[in-house]
A = this chain, B = another copy of it.
Amino acid sequence: MSTENDENSETRKSIGARRNPASQEAILDAAEYVLRQSGLAGFSIEAVARHARAGKPTIYRWWPNRTALMLDVYSRFKHVRPFPDTGTLRGDLIGFLDRQLLGFWSDGLPGLVYRAVIAEAQNDDDAAAALQDYQAERKQWAAQIIERAKLRGEVPETTDATLIIDLVVAYAWHHLLLGQLDEAASRIEAVVDTVLRGITGYKEVVP
């Protein structure tokens, strides 16, 4: 087994018959390519390794399983979409639900991939842990929407940001998993307005 240092060093390329080292980014590129070309059914560590010209052990060094790799591809899709910052809590929550969640998933591959990740997390402890970590990180980001609203005085300092984000994310997940994204999207404003009224001391800011 080569050390991680070996794997990343330039000299590694000259070792004739052995495979070139593949960077994490190159493996994610290959994983995305395989997902787009072959769909979920054709997505395996083996197929990604072949396409990345990497050894399977190289991939397993960074990703313990297929789900963790799939979740990282999904996360890369998502990172090109910045969190909304519209100047009002209402605008931000609508943008979050519309562009980060429901609309993002409607866009074909991301929704399919995320459904598969959630499904695998129900049967596999490693996949479940990966999903929990990802969710915790994303929700911490999303909570900034509420923190900004506190700074603007739209909601009291005591508002439970986690609970508000949980309600919004849960609504989106539920309809993704039931295959009802369109129905959910048609009620985005009603959902956000219900949640906003639910926050004690909420004062609408007119932008």
Contacts and interface: CB of A to CB of B under 8 A. Distances in A.
Interface of A: 115-116, 118-123, 128, 131-132, 135, 160, 163-164, 166-167, 169-171, 173-175, 177-180, 187, 190-191, 193-200
A169 B174 contact: yes
Contacts of A115: 122
A128 B115 CA distance: 12
Contacts of A132: 178-180
B163 A173 contact: no
Contacts of A118: 119, 122, 177
State the majority secondary structure of interface residues on A.
helix
Which of A120, A164, A170 has the largest number of chain B CB atoms within 10 A? A170
A191 B163 contact: yes
A125 to B, nearest CB: 9
A199 to B, nearest CB: 7
A119 B123 contact: yes
Closest 9 CB pairs of A and B: A170-B174, A198-B198, A194-B198, A119-B122, A119-B119, A170-B170, A115-B122, A197-B198, A170-B171
A153 B166 CA distance: 29
Contacts of A175: 170
